[in-house]
Amino acid sequence: MHTTATLHVHPACASKRRLIEQLQADTKRLVVIHGGKPRLVSRAKAAAPSSESPFGGDAA
């Protein structure tokens, strides 16, 4: 089963490192802020190479 949830983070929280680290510790996920919006991302997915790189996966 695949479960999703919406993450609502107050802008003051999203700009404070300590609070982001606490959120990551509590959820066991990484908080990625993209376009000003925070998202929870699994650590395995975050460690995977991105296909969005303009240099491809073999760039060193």
30 pLDDT band (50/70/90 cuts)? Answer: confident
Strand pairing class (30-34; 37-41): antiparallel
Model pLDDT, residue 11: 77
Judge if pTM exceeds 0.75. no
Listed residue (51, 31, 28) closest to 40, CA to CA: 31
Tens digits of residue pLDDT in 3-18 = 666 767 787 777 888 9
Listed residue (31, 12, 33) closest to 21, CA to CA: 31
32 near 38, Cβ under 8 Å?
yes
